[in-house]
Amino acid sequence: MQADKTLTIKTQEVVLPNPQQWVLLYADYLFGFAVTRLNDENLAKDLVQETFLAALEKIDLFKGESSEKTWLTAILKNKVIDVYRKNASAFTKNILVKEALQDQADFFETSDGHWNPVHWPKEFGVENQEPLLNKEFNQILQKCMQKLPALWSVVFTMKHMDDEPTDLICSTLKVSPANFWVIIHRTKLNLRACLQKNWI
Amino acid sequence: MMDELDKAEIRKIAYNCKKATFLIEKKQIDKITIREELELKIHLAGCSVCRIFQQQSIIINQMVKSWINSSPQEKKLDENYKNQLQNIIQNRIKKN
């Protein structure tokens, strides 16, 4: 019925949405999109469902200007950012954060900023052997990311995975630019140390 | 400007791994100033530990980036859940 309505208004070149095919065509893709960014399979499943339902609700708004896939991905991306926002605000109330921050403090000597010898980076031994293709190495990094405080992991993912502009990240998560850089620095120190601990 | 760095400053730079690792991170995302660039260069020339850090930091960023394009077959929804989704969608369409 809705499809008919769209037809009368639009030219015949318009691509009509076909929700019957969505699961078959896009469910795996959307799930992959969400799980890569959120590192949480159950949450990713829920978001895929919410995305389809939201898309059905506003199916009249689908203009056929972008592909169905692009349209659905945009809806999902907004939902992922909502999760980011929620995680970021929960973080600020979390006492665990303070502890994590203190943990980081001993990476370097407070007096001169020199590495604390206990935390000296050591060679992983995979630097020259395509570490990107090493499955086990990737899995350890994913586990290390799951252990990060929520806000750190969100800042890191938005920057290094999605390449979002720094000012957008700061305004979305209500983080000052100074804190953004502190988080970026600490997150990397933390991830690298976690890899070293679990790999070597 | 570059020759204005005196010995005390160079010493400070040479030992400040905290600052150096910060600049390594910043440089991968944003521009750093010419002065910062110089400081980092001086530091890395004398600090093998931070050179390892830099190499590994770059690898970590590349790995995270590569997950975005990771083959979809690695991350699949289970069929049960897909059937469930299909039913939910069918029901919604019928209602409209």
Give the end of a domain, one of A36, A61, A83. Answer: A83
Higher pLDDT: B82 or A125? It is: B82
CA distances for A100 relative to A73, A151, A171, A174, B94, angstroms? 34, 12, 23, 20, 51
Residues from chain A contacting residue B60 (CB–CB below 8 Å)? 141, 188, 191-192, 195
Q: Do B93 and A20 make contact, defined as CB atoms within 8 angstroms? A: yes
Burial A175-190 (b: 16+ CB within 10 A, else e): beeeebbbbbbbbbbb
Q: Assess contact for A72 and A26: CB atoms under 8 A.
A: yes
Give the end of a domain, one of A28, A51, A83. Answer: A83
Question: A16 and A76: one domain?
Answer: yes
Residues from chain B contacting residue A29 (CB–CB below 8 Å)? 72
Q: Tens of pLDDT along B51-91?
A: 999 999 999 999 998 888 765 446 789 999 999 999 999 99
Rounded Cα distance, A76 and A153, in Å: 19
Residues from chain B contacting residue A19 (CB–CB below 8 Å)? 89, 92-93
Structural tokens at position A162: 């999605």
Question: A13 and A77: one domain?
Answer: yes
Rounded Cα distance, A185 and A190, in Å: 9
Question: A103 and A139: one domain?
Answer: yes
Helix B48-68 with A150-160: angle, nearest 10 deg: 80
Question: A79 and A114: one domain?
Answer: no
Q: What is the CATH number of the domain that holds A6?
A: 1.10.1740.10
Helix (H) or strand (E) holding A88: helix A68-92
Residue of B nearest to A109 (CA): B18
Question: A79 and A11: one domain?
Answer: yes
Rounded Cα distance, A104 and A116, in Å: 11
Question: A76 and A164: one domain?
Answer: no
Question: Which of B26, B55, B86 lies nearest to residue A181, judging by beta carbons?
Answer: B26
Q: Assess contact for B50 and A6: CB atoms under 8 A.
A: no
**Is residue A99 exposed (0-12), middle (13-18) or buried (19+ Cβ within 10 Å)?**
exposed
Q: How many CB pairs under 8 A join A and B?
A: 128
Question: A79 and A128: one domain?
Answer: no
Question: A118 and A177: one domain?
Answer: yes
Does residue A4 carry a pLDDT above 70? Answer: no
Question: Which of A114, A161, A184 lies nearest to residue B68, judging by beta carbons?
Answer: A161
Residue A89 included in any domain:
no
Rounded Cα distance, A37 and A73, in Å: 13
Nearest CA among B89, B12, B2 for reference residue A17: B89
Rounded Cα distance, A67 and A15, in Å: 8
Higher pLDDT: A103 or B43? It is: B43
Q: Do A185 and B25 make contact, defined as CB atoms within 8 angstroms? A: yes
Question: A133 and A46: one domain?
Answer: no
Helix (H) or strand (E) holding B34: helix B34-46
Give the end of a domain, one of A83, A104, A122. Answer: A83
Domain that holds residue A14: 2-83
Residue of B nearest to A184 (CA): B25
Interface test with B, best of A30, A31, A180, A187 (most B CBs within 10 A): A31
Residues 122-161 of A with CB under 8 A from B: 122-124, 127, 131-132, 137-138, 141-142, 145, 156-157, 159-161
Does residue B31 carry a pLDDT above 70? Answer: yes
Question: Which of A1, A113, A188 lies nearest to residue B57, judging by beta carbons?
Answer: A188
A175 Cα to chain B: minimum distance (Å): 17
Domain count, chain A: 2
**Is residue A192 exposed (0-12), middle (13-18) or buried (19+ Cβ within 10 Å)?**
buried
Mean pLDDT of A108-129: 84
Residues from chain A contacting residue B29 (CB–CB below 8 Å)? 159, 166, 184
Residue A148 included in any domain:
yes
Mean pLDDT of chain A: 83
The phi, psi pair for A108, rounded to 5°, reads -125, 155
Question: A100 and A49: one domain?
Answer: no
Mean pLDDT of A122-144: 83
Question: Which of B49, B70, B81 lies nearest to residue A115, judging by beta carbons?
Answer: B49
Nearest CA among B94, B75, B78, B85 for reference residue A48: B85
Question: Which of B17, B30, B82 lies nearest to residue A114, judging by beta carbons?
Answer: B17
Domain spans of chain B, in order of start: 2-95
Question: A71 and A154: one domain?
Answer: no
Q: What is the CATH number of the domain that holds A156?
A: 1.10.10.10
Q: Tens of pLDDT along A37-93?
A: 888 899 999 999 999 999 999 988 888 778 899 999 999 999 999 998 887 776 554
Q: Do B64 and A161 make contact, defined as CB atoms within 8 angstroms? A: yes
